[in-house]
Amino acid sequence: MLFFQKTKTITRRGAHSYNGNFLQPLAVGIVSAVLVALILVMGYLDIRRNETNLVGFMEDQALTTISVLLRQTEDNLKSIAAAKGKMPSHLKTAKEAESAYSIQLVYDAITKLGQQIDEQWKKKLMSNAYLQKFAEDHYFWYVAILNMRGDILYQSGPLKTDMLSKSDLFINGRKATTVELLEKIRIKEDIGYVGVKLKRGGGIAVFCLDRKGRLYWSLKVAVERAMSKMGEGHGIAYLQVFNDQKILLGNIGELPAGLTSRDLNDQEMMKGKKGILSRKVDPQGIKILDVAAPFILENPYLPKEKIAGIVRIGLDRGSMDKIIAENRQNIFIFMLFVVGIALLSMWLLYHDQNRHLAGIIDMERRLEKAERLSSLGQLAAGVAHEIRNPLNAISMATQRLKRDFIPPDETKAREFKNLSTVIRDEIRRLNEIIEEFLSFSKSRRLELSNFPVTEVLQKIVSLMTEEAASRNIVLETHWRFSPAVIPMDVNKLQQAFLNFIKNAMESITERGKITISVSREGKKHVLVSIADTGCGMTPEEIEKVFSPEYTTKEKGLGLGIPLATEIIRGHGGDVRVISRPGEGTTFEIVLPVEKISDKT
């Protein structure tokens, strides 16, 4: 739907054009383009620099977390290695008590594996092959299941006794039991063992650990204990620690779907070529900075050797991405601001160079319009003189009809008098319209008085109903704000409304409807709407409808709407047009409730 508000005469250059070379706007355009390009490059570099700084900050945060974890792990590992044999608790120092607690955690971790053996025993799936794989997976030197007499029921492999002498294989002339052999191996080769009684099988599971196995379990327990002290949260999505064999020693959280331990390029880190690896990942829409760093710890069991591995940590980068997005937005807004200034500068230069040319064209159009209106006024002066004589004759004839030819029937007589009065009033108003036609381009004061808008419109509707009915047009009224008293020149405002309604009737070629409504527009204005179901107008026709020289009628002068608009403006009001071809037109007349000024 098209909206148009007429506030002043619109002037256009039309065929006039300026063919000069606008070097200044071109120069400004080039400078602006270079400036925008520089800003784009600087903005991109600034975004990259901020992003790099934020990633570096998060990497430092990850390294700090890893450093704390490794320090606690190393302390736990030393505490486990320093554990001694059993002694009364009241004789232990604080350090010895801590070591005893740490080694007990190792025993507890191994004891939990006894539950797996117990479940397998219960299901009657126990075999030597199962124990062999079990020992390899958990870094045990030897695993066996003994009955209550100490006989071997299942074992991960033959018990190696080649480090023992032949005398060690016998005790008091009898063959040494498995437990006795394990004890002698422990003393000679420092291969410890842990026995766990099976609940369901009625036997004992024995787990033997050499130095490699003891280091694995001590490190695993040390890492898990350090992680339990750190806890979850703090922006950590997951945390994993692997040894140099890529065996998981402990973890916090779980890797999101789509990430695996194979994603790490740990070869370069283990060789010492890279101290840290980081990358952005978005598994399942979760924004994470995946960081991996190698570590080296002191080996408390073999001081000459080192413990190596990798720590992998995932940090939530939601805050970082938010900061980057805000920074991008600020740079984008700044760029738009600079481009706007450049375009404004170009427009100002263009406007300045064309100001004089536009002024000349405007003056030519005004002069042409003034000449046309002057000719129209001269023509109107001659026509008015010829029209007044017939009007006087019609007026006198109406007076005589009213005096000498009154019908005898009272109802018809009353209707006859009303029609006679209307004819005389319209003759008088027609005479005033002629005067107004002569003074169209002149100004004079309006005779304002408070009067209801609805009463003026109702009078017009009563006057036009018969003519509308003859054209198959229905006049419909809606007084949403009544009586809508405003300061007005009654006769002139009535003429303006009549012009709008006549224009609406003329736009309807067949059957149609004209809707006249009165409502409030805000607190200080009244809105009169005159809507028809006629042919409607195009945007080009809306542009011309307020021009005195424009008309679509063969015998029309095109003064109806312009004259009505001038009257509305004289009352301090305004006119809006809403129209669509084929659907009709609505004229919206906005009038002030209070008196603004005494002007036409």
User: What are the tens digits of pLDDT across the range 332-383?
Assistant: 788 778 777 877 877 777 677 677 777 778 788 767 765 765 666 566 666 7
Q: Among 5-19, 129-143, 322-336, which is the least confidently predicted range?
A: 5-19
* Contact (CB, 8 A) for 402 and 394: no
CB 102 within 8 A of CB 79: yes
pLDDT for 132 equals 92
Report, in this order, helix, strand and coil percent for the chain, each rounded to 5: 55, 20, 25
Residue 8 is predicted with a pLDDT of 34
Residue whose C-alpha is closest to residue 259's, from 244, 236, 237, 242 = 237
Identify whether the C-beta of residue 274 lies closer than 8 Å to the C-beta of residue 247: no
User: Residue 191 pLDDT more than 50?
Assistant: yes
Task: Collapse the DSSP code of 385 into the 3-class scheme (helix H, G, I; strand E, B; otherwise coil) and give the result.
Answer: helix
Which of the four pLDDT bands, split at 50, 70 and 90, describes residue 546?
confident
Amino acid at 577: V
Between the alpha carbon of residue 292 and those of residues 203, 219, 239, 277, 304, the distances in Å are 44, 19, 10, 5, 26
- Does residue 474 contact residue 465 with C-beta atoms inside 8 Å? no
**Rounded Cα gap, residues 114 and 199, in angstroms:** 9
Does residue 64 fall inside a structural domain?
no
* The predicted structure's pLDDT at residue 266: 67
Distance of CA 18 to the CA centre of its chain: 45
User: Which CATH number goes with the domain that contains 573?
Assistant: 3.30.565.10
Given a cut of 70, is residue 9 above it in pLDDT? no
Q: Backbone phi, then psi, for 40, in 5-degree steps?
A: -60, -45
Token look-up 């920074």 returns 327
Q: Can you list the positions of beta strands (E) in 265-422?
A: 277-281, 288-298, 306-316
Averaged confidence pLDDT in the chain:
80
Higher pLDDT, 20 or 475: 475
Show Cβ contacts of residue 450 under 8 Å, excluding neighbours closer than 6 positions: 485, 486, 487, 488
Dist. CA 96–CA 237, nearest whole Å: 36
In the three-class reduction of DSSP (H, G, I as helix; E, B as strand; rest coil), residue 590 is classed as: strand
Q: Quick one: CA dihedral 421, 424, 427, 431, positive or negative?
A: negative
What average pLDDT does this structure show over 20-26? 51
Least trusted range by pLDDT, from 462-471, 484-493, 555-564: 555-564
Q: Which of 12, 10, 21, 22 is nearest to 361 (CA)?
A: 12
Question: Who has greater pLDDT, 260 or 63?
Answer: 63
| CA-wise closest residue to 452 among 518, 503, 396, 363 | 518
Let me know if residue 160 belongs to a domain.
Answer: yes
Which amino acid, residue 81?
A
113 pLDDT higher than 60: yes
Least confident of 114-123, 176-185, 332-341, 503-512: 332-341
Distance CA 353, CA 22 (A): 8
Is 97's pLDDT higher than 60? yes
CA atoms within 13 A on the CB side of 216: 20
Q: What are phi and psi of 292, to 5 degrees?
A: -135, 140
Which of 99-108, 285-294, 443-452, 576-585 shows the highest mean pLDDT?
A: 576-585
pLDDT class of 117 with cuts at 50, 70, 90: confident
Please state, in angstroms and rounded to a whole number, the distance separating the CA atoms of residues 580 and 118: 88
Higher-pLDDT residue of 531, 25: 531
Mean pLDDT of 11-27: 45
Tell whether 560 is covered by a domain: yes
**Token representation of residue 285:** 């829409």
Q: If DSSP codes are grouped into helix, strand and coil, which group holds residue 536?
A: coil
Alpha helices in 82-93 (DSSP H): none
**Which of 11 and 381 is assigned the larger pLDDT?**
381
Token pair 């990259």 is found at 48
Six-digit token pair at 165? 């002498």
Neighbouring residues of 8: CB distance < 8 A, sequence distance ≥ 6 = none
Of the spans 27-36, 318-327, 504-513, 525-534, which averages the highest pLDDT?
525-534
Range 356-380 burial, b when 16+ CB lie within 10 A, else e: eeeeebeeebeeebeeeeeebeeeb
Check whether 461 has a pLDDT greater than 50: yes
- Asked if residue 583 belongs to a domain, the reply is yes
Q: Tell me how far CA of residue 173 lies from CA of 164, 166, 184, 595, in angstroms.
A: 16, 12, 16, 134
232 occurs within a structural domain? no
170, 187, 213 - which closes a domain: 213
376/413 Cα distance (integer angstroms):
43
Query: Is the model's pLDDT at 577 over the cut of 80?
Result: yes
Confidence bin at 15 (pLDDT 50/70/90): very low
> Does 278 map to a domain?
no
The pTM of the full predicted model, rounded to 2 decimals, is 0.49
Give the C-alpha separation, 366 to 376, whole Å. Answer: 15
Which two structure tokens, joined as six digits, stand for 124?
């009657």
489: how many CB neighbours lie within 10 A of its CB?
Answer: 20
* 481: number of Cβ within 10 Å: 16
Amino acid 271 reads: K
Instruction: Name the domain boundary from 192, 213, 234.
Output: 213
Of the three residues 195, 213, 231, the one that is the final residue of a domain is 213
**In the predicted structure, residue 417 carries a pLDDT above the cut 90:** no
Contacts of 304 (CB under 8 A, 6+ apart): none
Query: Do 207 and 143 meet the contact criterion of CB atoms below 8 Å apart?
Result: yes
Res. 527 pLDDT band, cuts 50 70 90: very high
pLDDT above 90 coverage of the chain, percent: 15
Q: Residue 598's closest CA among 572, 574, 564, 565?
A: 572
Domain count, the chain: 2
pLDDT band of residue 554 (cuts 50, 70, 90) is: low
What pLDDT, on the 0 to 100 scale, is given for residue 193?
87
Specify the residue for token string 């809306």.
542
Domain ranges, residue 133 = 106-213
Question: Residue 154: inside a domain, yes or no?
Answer: yes
Side-chain half-sphere CA neighbours of 179 within 13 A: 13
For residue 201, pLDDT over 70 is answered with no
Residue 486 lies in a domain: yes
User: Given strand 192-197, what is the order of strands in its sheet?
Assistant: 152-155, 142-146, 204-209, 192-197
Overall average pLDDT of the 491-515 stretch: 90
